[in-house]
Amino acid sequence: MSDPALNILNDTFGYPSFRGFQQDVIAEVVAGRDALVLMPTGGGKSLCYQIPALIRGGTAVVVSPLIALMEDQINSLRELGIRADCLHSGMSPEDRQQVERELLMGDLDLLYVAPERLLTESMLRLLDQMQVALFAIDEAHCVSQWGHDFRPEYLQLHHLQERFPAVPRIALTATADKRTRQEIRARLGLQSARVFIDSFNRPNIFYRISQKKQGKQQLLKFLEKEHPEDSGIVYCLSRKKVEQTAEWLSQAGRKAIPYHAGLPPEQRKANQHRFIAEEGIIVVATIAFGMGIDKPDVRFVAHLDLPKSIEAYYQETGRGGRDGLPATAWMVYGLQDVVLLRQMQARSIASQQVQQVERQKLEAMLSLCEVTGCRRQVLLNYFDEPLDKPCGYCDLCLEPAEVWDGTEAAQKALSCIYRSGQSFGVAHLVDVLQGKQNDKVRRFGHDRLSTFGIGNELDQNGWRSVFRQLVARGYVNVDVDGHGALKLNDSCRSILKGNERIELRRDRYEPSTKYQKEYKEVGRVVVEEHDQQLWETLRQWRRSHAEEQSVPAYVIMNDKTLMELIKHRPTTHLELSRISGIGQHKLEKYGDDLLAVLGTVDVEIN
Ligand code: ADP
Ligand code: ZN
């Protein structure tokens, strides 16, 4: 007997086969049992509740924290012929009543609601009167008080279990952390739910981290060389830097818009919409941006500042390449980032215990930056998913890090910190090592130190690199109250005494020319020369339909589907239906049109 879930996947969504655990999760929920689903961003969580919603009787209620994104989710579903709607505070009373009527008539497959609305008395009464197929709790990590996405309203969601014991609940998140996982189970009353943990590997994302020299310039170079026309996200730490960078990119001729929590709500909403709807657009943002954004064609995620943890880095970079096509995760970082984050932590008013956890998370992030082996191995290891071989698809796999015996340099650097009294920052320490006769050096009499001028073997950047690595590896502390003075700690003693040797990596600001060619070919979607014209025609076709219906282009068809059309050049409706992403509804709606655009229509007539 054929599997109804598979039929829906093929016919409605137009996909040939399930990914990872999707089929098992769907079976669990269809059978009326609870589930907790952990999958990386872009892994395909939505299908895990959308397909059961279509199989089980009644309407599935989806709790989603982001009202601004509900419309987009609904548009995508409607384009597949699925009956979906939403209820939120931004709607007019008439629109709300209309949706309520549809619900009572059983005319909706899915209903999206914000958590605060779901638990209002009127909503609960409505739910009592209708048939609820299931509850899906999206972005379930919002229930975690430790995370930066905490939403107090999520804490109320455990009431669902008491009030609707017979309705299955499925919670979904891309946050893998064990602590968060336990919190979700406890707070949502999902102790007996089956837990599905998918692989966190995102094989189509190319990871790349370089040292920061002039961050913005490096970014621009990267964009010009590798993503001249693509959409992407640039993350910065501060609002000011977000605005400056967006402005700067615009002046450099890119379509770039800012996003941070300090912008007026209307502008935030408008910019979010532009990012979702337009092609070739860059959003420069703080971490406030990104949750729930499912734009599939984000081709790069760039970090101009260091994220606070691997979780944050992974979630942010995971927003690239949701369509499965190549995407680049690019980052530059330097000592200044480390100092800044340590200072922020020191100013934190959180409990000792939380600070301790935050420190450990930052250490893990730093070791990802300073590693000499495969980045993906470090990342997946962090999520308890060891990868036994180097991935072959990250910067260090392509171009191994060069290491050198830095013992002597480290000794010089450490003793310079010690002799100058452990109250100076890197810039001054480097001046002393290099024997610079400037005011500050003379004022403190540092030209008389035994470490004055002993460091001519390295240039300024070379010394900065030594200090950074000593800090990143925890041999040296940064004084977080003052101006980033470096201080020794116990662990550096063995180096100073010559009992321990230390290997340092040579910094890299850009890929070497030797590897330029290979770099060029990774993390990029490449359309062959002879297909360029058809690619443009298809995009133009997609754009005109998108504009006509006021939906983002990818809602009509995503890049991956267009690429498949180019590759297979279908000539009949049957062949079209085999293209990934073309289901029944799209086939009926666009089939003839597409065959004409592809210029293959004649073949069919013959
Ligand atoms: P997330 O886990 O981040 O919520 P989505 O549910 O948005 O991920 O899925 C990411 C993309 O992958 C979407 O474009 C979705 O349509 C697509 N997708 C999901 N499952 C499959 C599948 N089995 N085959 C092909 N594409 C899929
Ligand atoms: Zn690798």
**pLDDT at residue 606 greater than cutoff 70:** no
Per-residue model confidence (pLDDT) at position 603: 42
Torsion sign over Cα 415, 416, 419, 421:
negative
Ligand nearest, relative to CA of residue 206? 2
Alpha-carbon torsion angle 209, 215, 220, 223, nearest 10: 20
Residues 477, 130: Cα–Cα separation, whole Å = 61
- Is residue 516 included in any domain, yes or no? no
pLDDT digits over 247-268, tens only? Answer: 999 999 999 999 999 999 999 9
Per-residue model confidence (pLDDT) at position 317: 95
Query: Relative to the CA of 48, which ligand 1 atom is closest?
Result: 6
3-state helix, strand, coil in the chain (%, to 5): 50, 15, 35
Per-residue model confidence (pLDDT) at position 522: 67
Per-residue model confidence (pLDDT) at position 42: 81
Residues 368, 337: Cα–Cα separation, whole Å = 14
Q: Do 261 and 318 lie in a common domain?
A: yes
CA geometry: angle 330, 239, 226, nearest 5 deg: 25
- Is residue 533 included in any domain, yes or no? yes
The alpha carbon of 394 and the centre of ligand 2 are apart by a number of angstroms equal to 4
Residues 341-347, mean pLDDT to the nearest whole number: 81
Inter-axis angle of helices 584-598 and 532-549, nearest 10:
130
Per-residue model confidence (pLDDT) at position 520: 62
The alpha carbon of 207 and the centre of ligand 2 are apart by a number of angstroms equal to 8
Q: Do 410 and 501 lie in a common domain?
A: yes
What CATH number does residue 561 fall under? 1.10.150.80
Half-sphere exposure of 352 (CA within 13 A, CB side): 0
Per-residue model confidence (pLDDT) at position 576: 95
Q: Do 290 and 380 lie in a common domain?
A: yes
pTM, two decimals, is: 0.88
- According to DSSP, residue 349 is labeled -
Strands 403-405 and 503-505: antiparallel
Q: Which residues pair with 327 in a beta bridge?
A: 205
Residues 309-316, mean pLDDT to the nearest whole number: 90
Residues 312, 328: Cα–Cα separation, whole Å = 16
Q: Do 187 and 249 lie in a common domain?
A: no
The residue with greater pLDDT, 339 or 221, is: 221
Q: Whose CA is nearest to atom 19 of ligand 1?
A: 44
Q: Do 223 and 193 lie in a common domain?
A: no
- Is residue 522 included in any domain, yes or no? no
The alpha carbon of 436 and the centre of ligand 2 are apart by a number of angstroms equal to 41
- Please list, in sequence order, all residues whose beta carbon lies within 8 angstroms of the beta carbon of residue 528, skipping any fewer than 6 positions away: none
pLDDT digits over 359-374, tens only? Answer: 888 889 999 999 989 9
Q: Do 445 and 586 lie in a common domain?
A: no
The alpha carbon of 200 and the centre of ligand 1 are apart by a number of angstroms equal to 14
With beta carbons less than 8 A apart as the criterion, state whether 314 and 381 touch.
no
Residues 290, 272: Cα–Cα separation, whole Å = 9
Query: Relative to the CA of 17, which ligand 1 atom is closest?
Result: 23
Q: Considering its fold, how many domains does the chain have in total? A: 4
Residues 485, 425: Cα–Cα separation, whole Å = 4
Tell the burial category of 269 from Cβ atoms under 10 Å away from its Cβ (0-12, 13-18, 19+).
Answer: middle
Residues 483, 285: Cα–Cα separation, whole Å = 27
Q: CB of 394 closer than 6 A to ligand 1?
A: no
Ligand nearest, relative to CA of residue 318? 1
Instruction: State the chain's mean pLDDT as an integer.
Output: 91
pLDDT digits over 405-458, tens only? Answer: 999 999 999 999 999 999 999 999 999 999 999 999 999 999 999 999 999 999
pLDDT digits over 38-87, tens only? Answer: 998 888 999 999 999 999 999 999 999 888 788 888 999 999 999 999 99
Q: CB of 39 closer than 6 A to ligand 1?
A: yes
Per-residue model confidence (pLDDT) at position 341: 84
Q: CB of 583 closer than 6 A to ligand 1?
A: no
Q: Which two tokens stand for residue 12?
A: 């409605």
Query: Relative to the CA of 18, which ligand 1 atom is closest?
Result: 23
Residues 205-230, mean pLDDT to the nearest whole number: 93
- Please list, in sequence order, all residues whose beta carbon lies within 8 angstroms of the beta carbon of residue 572, skipping any fewer than 6 positions away: 595, 604
The torsion angles phi and psi of 331, rounded to 5 degrees, stand at -150, 145
Domain endpoint, select from 197, 221, 250: 197
- Please list, in sequence order, all residues whose beta carbon lies within 8 angstroms of the beta carbon of residue 35, skipping any fewer than 6 positions away: 25, 28, 29, 48, 168, 169, 170, 171, 193, 194, 195, 196
pLDDT digits over 479-501, tens only? Answer: 877 677 899 988 899 999 999 99
**pLDDT at residue 222 greater than cutoff 90:** yes
Q: CB of 303 closer than 6 A to ligand 1?
A: no
The alpha carbon of 399 and the centre of ligand 2 are apart by a number of angstroms equal to 10
Q: Do 462 and 593 lie in a common domain?
A: no
**pLDDT at residue 146 greater than cutoff 80:** no
**pLDDT at residue 518 greater than cutoff 70:** no
Q: CB of 47 closer than 6 A to ligand 1?
A: yes
What CATH number does residue 346 fall under? 3.40.50.300
Q: Which two tokens stand for residue 112?
A: 């999206």
Q: Do 382 and 432 lie in a common domain?
A: no
The torsion angles phi and psi of 557, rounded to 5 degrees, stand at -165, 135
Per-residue model confidence (pLDDT) at position 605: 40
Q: Do 497 and 547 lie in a common domain?
A: no
- Of the pLDDT bands very low, low, confident and very high (cuts 50, 70, 90), residue 311 is confident
Q: Which two tokens stand for residue 225?
A: 């060389």
Tell the burial category of 282 from Cβ atoms under 10 Å away from its Cβ (0-12, 13-18, 19+).
Answer: buried
With beta carbons less than 8 A apart as the criterion, state whether 370 and 465 touch.
no
Ligand nearest, relative to CA of residue 329? 2
Smallest CA-to-CA distance from 54 within 29, 34, 18 is with 29
What CATH number does residue 491 fall under? 1.10.10.10
Helix (H, G, I), strand (E, B) or coil at 350: coil
Q: Do 179 and 100 lie in a common domain?
A: yes
**pLDDT at residue 515 greater than cutoff 80:** no
Task: Kindly report which listed range (228-237, 285-294, 363-372) carries the lowest average pLDDT score.
Answer: 285-294
In which order are the strands placed within the sheet that holds 298-303? 205-211, 327-333, 298-303, 231-235, 282-285, 256-259
Q: Do 193 and 66 lie in a common domain?
A: yes
Q: Which two tokens stand for residue 75?
A: 């548009």
Helix (H) or strand (E) holding 576: helix 573-577
- Is residue 521 included in any domain, yes or no? no
Strands (E), 372-485: 403-405, 476-478
Residues 582-593, mean pLDDT to the nearest whole number: 95
- Is residue 524 included in any domain, yes or no? no
Domain endpoint, select from 197, 213, 243: 197
Domain endpoint, select from 197, 218, 243: 197
pLDDT digits over 13-30, tens only? Answer: 999 999 989 999 999 999
Parent domain of 462: 403-505
- Please list, in sequence order, all residues whose beta carbon lies within 8 angstroms of the beta carbon of residue 275, skipping any fewer than 6 positions away: 231, 257, 259, 281, 283, 293, 295
Smallest CA-to-CA distance from 294 within 543, 511, 64, 520 is with 64
Residues 606, 601: Cα–Cα separation, whole Å = 9
Residues 565-588, mean pLDDT to the nearest whole number: 95
- Is residue 90 included in any domain, yes or no? yes
Residue in 19, 204, 298 to alter for ligand 1 test, most ligand atoms within 8 A of Cβ: 19
CA distance between the termini of the chain = 37
Residues 337-348, mean pLDDT to the nearest whole number: 82
- Of the pLDDT bands very low, low, confident and very high (cuts 50, 70, 90), residue 602 is very low
Q: Do 457 and 495 lie in a common domain?
A: yes
- Is residue 278 included in any domain, yes or no? yes
Residues 134, 250: Cα–Cα separation, whole Å = 45
- Is residue 518 included in any domain, yes or no? no
Q: CB of 43 closer than 6 A to ligand 1?
A: yes
